[in-house]
Amino acid sequence: MKNLTRILVPVDSSAGADRAVTLAASLAQATGAVLDVLHVSYFDADTDDEQESWLPASIAGPVGRVGQEALERARKYVPASVTAVYHRRTGIPAEEILGFAAEKQAGLIVIGCRGLGVVEGFLLGSVSQEIVERATVSVVVAR
């Protein structure tokens, strides 16, 4: 593996994401890599181009708050000795994660899993599965 300088860890306030942040922070600490913590939401108040958002405040407000809470939750698992940068994006999670990884030239993606069985994972789909299949860099799935 080439010199690891950036590690991407997507977060969503789940236990799987907590495990992923813990592992990614440990790897960043050991390698001196920058840790990019990313939360992706499907939509927010700025999703459309209208003067007024088509999303009611009761939805757009909580989405923004949920994203901020996901990043704050992740901060608890990152030691002060690790250089971490926190990001938010809007869009289809797998697409945004892969695009972000390419943009920042991440050398590794560490992602949590939901712990679904084979049938449930197939029926419901899985962001982590799509990342594993489509990423152009190494991917570690934290269980």
7-31 pLDDT, tens per residue?
Answer: 999 999 899 999 999 999 999 999 9
DSSP label of 20? H
DSSP label of 33? P
Question: pLDDT digits over 95-131, tens only?
Answer: 999 999 999 999 999 999 875 555 545 444 589 989 9
Entry pTM: 0.83
Rg (C-alpha) for the chain, rounded Å, is 15
Q: Is the dihedral of CA 111, 102, 122, 69 positive or negative?
A: positive
Q: Which of 52, 49, 22 is nearest to 37 (CA)?
A: 22
- The class of domain 6-142 in CATH terms is alpha beta
